[in-house]
Every structure is written in C-alpha cells, then in structure tokens.
Structure 1
Amino acid sequence: MIDKMKFNSSSEYKIMAYLGDGEDWKETDIEAQKLTHINYAFVHVKDGRIIGNLRKIDLLNEIKNKNPYIKTVISVGGWGADGFSDAALSSESREIFSQSAVEFMIDNNFDGIDIDWEYPCSDQAGITARPEDKVNFTLMLKSLREKLDVLEKKNNKEYILSIAVGAADEIIEDMEMDKIHNYLDFINIMTYDMRGSFTHTTGHHANLYSPEFDPQGISADKAVKKILSYGVPRCKIILGAAFYGRMWKGVEDDGIGLNSLAETTGGHMVNYSDIHKMFIDKNGFKRHWDDTSKAAYVFNGSSFISYDDEESLWNKSNYIKENNLGGIMFWEYSLDNTRTLLNSIYNGLVNK
C-alpha cells in the first residue's frame, strides 16, 4: 500500500505526468497516489496573453482534493503553439504575458506554470521565431519568477516554474541555460521524439544511450550531460519518458529493422495501450531489445515501432538514481490504460 504521507511532492524523486485536456480520461483513471505532479496540457498564447478552455478542470480538482499533496501545474504551449516570440519581445510584452500567466494559474487553482515553447529561435514548427528569442526567453522566465516570488511571500506557499526542452544540442544551445536555471524549479527534458517524423530511417525515439551504429547520436544521456555542462543543478533535471511509440512503414527487411530505410517517416504515433494489445510479440511482430541504447522496439518485417516499455523505464529510473537527477516526467498519462509503464516508473524510483 502506498504511504501518501511519505510519497508526495517533496519526495526524493519527482514523478510528473503530463495530462492532456483533450484526451480521453476520467478522474478514476488516474493513479494520483503514484505521482508527485500533474502538468495539465495545454493552454496557449494569443495576443500576448494566456488563453485556454479547461474542459476537464473540475476532474483535475477532484484528483487534487482527494490527493492534497499532489502539485498541479498548467502547461503553456506545445508543438506548433505560436505567440511566445512576440510575448517575450519587449519588457512591456513580457510584463503582460507574465501577469496573465500568473493570474490564470491563481484563478484555476494551479500550483505552478510550465512553459513548453517549441522552440526559441526556431520556426521549424511553423511558429514565429527570432534570433533574439534566446535572450528574451531568459527575460520572460525572470519576469515570471519575480511575480511568483511575490506571490510566495504573500500566500506563504511555493509556486513552481518549469520548462520543457528538447533533447537536441541545437535546441539546448538556443537557450541561455546557464542563466535560466536560476529561475526554474525543473527542466523537463523531452527525451522522446528524438527520431520520428523527420527521418525515413528507423531508430529509437526515446533511447537512454546512443546506439552502437551512431555512437555520437542523440540520446537522453547526451542531453542530460549537455544541460549539466551549463551548471544546472542535478536535482532540477527531469528525464522524459514516452507512453507512446513511433511507427515506420515499408521498412527494408534485414531481419532486425533497426537503422533501416522506410517508405514513411516515423511520424505515426501509436499509444502504448495499442502497442501492448496488438504489437508486442503479436500479429507477426517481435519485440527486440537494444542493450547498448537501453531501448525496445517491435518489427514484423515491414513495420517498425520504437517505444518505451517496462525494461527501458527501469533503466531510466536507475539512471536517475545513479546520476542524482530530480525525477521523471512522461507524455501522456492516458496513452497507457494498462498502467504498466507508470508501475515500472514507480517501482523503479519509489519501491527501492
């Protein structure tokens, strides 16, 4: 039985679930006793202010009322979400944005704000971007932190400020990581989608280490070391996990499927519920384990799916403990109705 007084938001390791406002879930689906934080996603930026229709805020508050130790954080942005560059552009726009964000947080009973700008200085997702984003993002976070600090003194309560950041070197380098960590409680590294919709070559999308065929390739370990190089405290670094897989179709059949050309990119997302039900050693698919990368995949001779599973998450949990990191976060809770993945994380980090 889980000791709720022992396992809470001040626990040694954080377990953060991103919970989608538009996803299919109800309050009884959420094992909140195994979480320290829920990042509720997403609201957006329009005309410099936070907007969002929180369709399931009542359900979230039910969870919080039954689990008062849990921290709920409103996540702003997501892939393709525009408005950040303009909101960060000037001292006036930053003031408007940060005031709007803090008011939205308070009005909706959240304990913090998570900024998911994908990505400063990059228009890859079809958003407005400027070279000045690098410095302006720092100033935006500074403005938010200052307002949260005022609230903390007023209400005698701590408020969380976090960001979600991509794992690629160039994404990390487009931020003043050596400065922004001073304003943040957590840096959530999206160590997933590291391969997928941008390539026709199969590969791991949530691998802990670089694969043997690409020893300098992108990985969770490489991203963590990159961020640590800027002087970021280990306790602020949150490793990412995926409750979904990336599928390539029309893969050249070499018997293994890894690092092979495919007719499609890995843009097709498959939730873990379906992977568990239909693909793991079923319907002609065979599960494979890459012990170098500490990553799982399935292959049937023509379709390849890269995903996180119990074994990969056990390895990520051990990595977090061995490297004294802050904890783990995952996208997205409702994508695993088997509860297999959260159990693996919880057992790895809490049931020592």
Structure 2
Amino acid sequence: MRTSWLCLLSFWISWGCALEQAAPGYRVVGYLYGPRMDSLAVLDLSGLTHVNYAFANVRPDGRVVLETAADSVRLRRLTELRGSDGPQILLSIGGWAWSDYFSDAALTPASRRRFAASAGSLLVGFGLDGLDIDWEYPGQPGEGNVYRAADRENFTRLLATVRTLLDSLTQVQGRPYLLTIAAAAGPAYLAHVEIERVYPLVDFINLMTYDFHGSWTDHTGHHANLYPSSLDPEKMSVDGAVRRYLAAGVPGAKLVIGVPFYGRGWQEVRPEHQGRYQPYGMPVEKELSFAVLQRYYVGREGVTRYWDAEAQAPYLWHPEQRIFISYEDEQSLEAKIAYVRMQQLGGIMFWEYSGDWEGRLRCVVASINPLLQCDEEK
C-alpha cells in the first residue's frame, strides 16, 4: 500500500512538472507611439515581452529612416529601461500615416535591399531586438499610398529580403533578431498578400483586431468585440479574423491578437439597442483613450456601462445625450485571455501604451503569462 501511494505521489509530481514545463510563454506586445512617449512621466515596461517603437518612415527610394532626432533619444531611453532582462524592443516601420512608399520600396531587388540594409543599420545601431513591418496595406491605397497589384508578391519578396539580412546579422552579431508584421483583421488583407508564404518568414503576426467600426462607417458598433453581434450587418469580430487566418494555414502560435487601449464614440445616435449598430450624427472624438474614458465617462452621471454577452464587449450609453461608446475594459480583456488560451494562440498585443498610462489594462493583459510580473502605476 505504501509503495502504491509513493508511486501515485510520484505520478502527480511529474504530471504537475510536465504541465508547468508545457505552459506556453504567451507574448505580451505593447506598441509605444514615439510622440506620445514624451508626455509620460513614468515608463514602466513590466509585464511586457516585446515593445514595438512606432514608427520609422519609408522613403520613396526604399530607405528606412527615423524622421526626427527625438526618435533617437526615445530609442536610447527604451534600451536603457530594458536592461538585461527586460522586454525585447522592435522598431516598427510604417503604420497608417507612413506607409506611403512601401510599394516603391518593395518594387525591385535593389529597392528591397536598400530597405533591408537601412532598417538593419538602425537595428544594430540602437541595439534593438527586431523589426516590425507595418505596411497598411499591400495592394490597397490606405491613406492615399502608392499601391500596385504586384504588391501581393512584392510584399513576400520584401520580407524574404529582410529575413535574409537579419539571418546574416545573426551570424555576425551572434544573436537572433525578430521579424514580425502588423496585419489587418478583415478579409481584404488576406486577398492582397501571400499569407501562406509570409508566415514562414516571420516570427509572429500582430493582428490588428480593432477599429471594426468608427467614423468611417455609417453606423455605430463595437470596435473590438470578441464575437460577432447579431445586430452587426458586417459580423466583424476578433474570432472571425482569427478563424480566417487559421483557415489560411497560419499556425495559431504565430497569431497575436490586438486589443485597443482606446474607444470609439458617436453622438446623435438613434436610441434602439442602447445605440448599438445605429445611425448617428457625428463621432465624439477621433480616439478616446482608456484614461480619458475613465476620467470623463465611466461612472459619470447619465452614463451607463453595459455588457454585451453575445459580443463579449462592454459599451457606454448616455440616453439623454444619445452618446454611444465602444471600448475595452478589464472584463473584455479577461474574455480575450481565455480565448487565446482556448485557441492556443501566440499572445496579445495592444495599441497603444500611453492610452493606459496607469497600467490597469496592461497588467490585465500581462496576466496571460504567469512568468511575467506587472507593476501597476498608482
């Protein structure tokens, strides 16, 4: 009997150790927008595995550049804060405003080499850990960008050139370098890229699973809901985006879902369904940071916070002023953490650090990875 108990105890100990060793090291990726970094009295990188500094620009000849001297100062500050055991720091290239000339940069072997070499020079010069390519978007105009039908194949070629450069730097520097991309959630993105050839070239993909609705849509709606709403004619959701990428062959472990540290608001909204998926007169603001929402909206007189159980998303409704606001909070983040674990995805990314300078949402996101500790600002 004694032997049986010892065997059983040994089994449970070994099983528990195996579980601990098998627990995935989920990524917690935070974007940090350079100009907003200057307003932060405290910059706490705890709870993060990766920091993406946004943005470097792409010139028409393919060169990647930092547009201001302030960018250099900020990158130096980040690498000092990182220390020896902090998060990996990546330089994010492009973004919505600076994707104008990606198509030109990707057009020829020479322009692709210029892009890779100039990006690599910044990488080594600042002691960074990788590059994040944020082309918004191949084969599409974005914010009035140059674009071509050939972007589909050229995007793959550009990433392959960068990957080759990073591998060669690894041989010289004796350390690995990361290559990631920021990718759109909608089906149009997958129609304009060779995702089956792209994902083997990158370490992981940051899915921009937010901005499902905004001032550009003719009705209100959740802008980062986990599951689709039956009221939404487009049926946009995080789950829908993830399923599209999985169906296209992307391994779940390479998908990092994005969450917003800001909300979208509308006013003069038709009151049905507390303003959900209704016509409106005008947007409240371009972006409502989580900090602004906590200070001026959540819990204020006349404003009620609701939870949409179907969409797994919170929203605010002011019936007298007919204001509807979609945003992210602790409850919706907990739902997304459970979803990432259930689907065995690669982690969670957020845009953008300064929207939650107190660290409330950041520390919730960090809880997905038991190896991380997060110090919430008081």
Alignment of 1:224-239 (within 5 A): 224-239=242-257
- Structure 2: stretches of 5+ with no match in the other structure: 1-22, 373-378
1:162 aligns with 2:180: yes
In structure 1, C-alpha distance between the alignment counterparts of 2:161 and 2:150, rounded to whole Å: 16
What RMSD over aligned residues (CA atoms) do the two structures have, in Å?
1.9
* Partners of 2:221 and 2:232 within 8 A in 1: no
* Partners of 1:201 and 1:265 within 8 A in 2: no
State, as a whole percentage, how many aligned pairs show the same letter: 36
Q: 2:337 matched to which residue of 1?
A: 317
Aligned partner letter, 1:15:
V
* Partners of 2:65 and 2:119 within 8 A in 1: no
In structure 1, C-alpha distance between the alignment counterparts of 2:40 and 2:357, rounded to whole Å: 13
In structure 1, C-alpha distance between the alignment counterparts of 2:228 and 2:212, rounded to whole Å: 11
Deviations 1:81-108 (A, max 9, x none): 2110000011111111111111111112
TM-score, normalising length: structure 2: 0.86
Alignment of 1:197-212 (within 5 A): 197-212=215-230
Q: 2:114 matched to which residue of 1?
A: 96
Deviations 1:121-175 (A, max 9, x none): 1113111111110100000000000111111122221100000011011112211
Q: 1:254 matched to which residue of 2?
A: 272
1:171 partner SS: helix
For 1:308, which of 328, 334, 346 is the aligned residue?
Answer: 328
For 2:95, which of 55, 78, 97 is the aligned residue?
Answer: 78
Alignment of 1:1-352 (within 5 A): 12-25=25-38, 29-46=42-59, 47-52=61-66, 53=68, 54=71, 55-65=73-83, 68-81=85-98, 82-214=100-232, 217-254=235-272, 256-265=274-283, 268-301=286-319, 302-350=322-370
1:281 partner SS: coil
In structure 2, C-alpha distance between the alignment counterparts of 1:11 and 1:30, rounded to whole Å: 27
* Partners of 1:203 and 1:258 within 8 A in 2: yes
2:242 partner SS: helix
* Partners of 1:195 and 1:266 within 8 A in 2: no
Deviations 1:38-82 (A, max 9, x none): 0000111013101113141232122112x5342000000111321
* Partners of 1:248 and 1:268 within 8 A in 2: no
Which deviates more, 176-185 or 103-112? 103-112
Note closer, same or farther for the CA distance 1:123–1:215 as it changes in structure 2 (3 Å cut). closer
2:46 partner SS: helix
Work out the number of aligned pairs and report it: 342
TM-score, normalising length: structure 1: 0.92
In structure 2, C-alpha distance between the alignment counterparts of 1:12 and 1:222, rounded to whole Å: 24
- Structure 1: stretches of 5+ with no match in the other structure: 1-9
In structure 2, C-alpha distance between the alignment counterparts of 1:192 and 1:258, rounded to whole Å: 16
Aligned partner letter, 1:246:
R
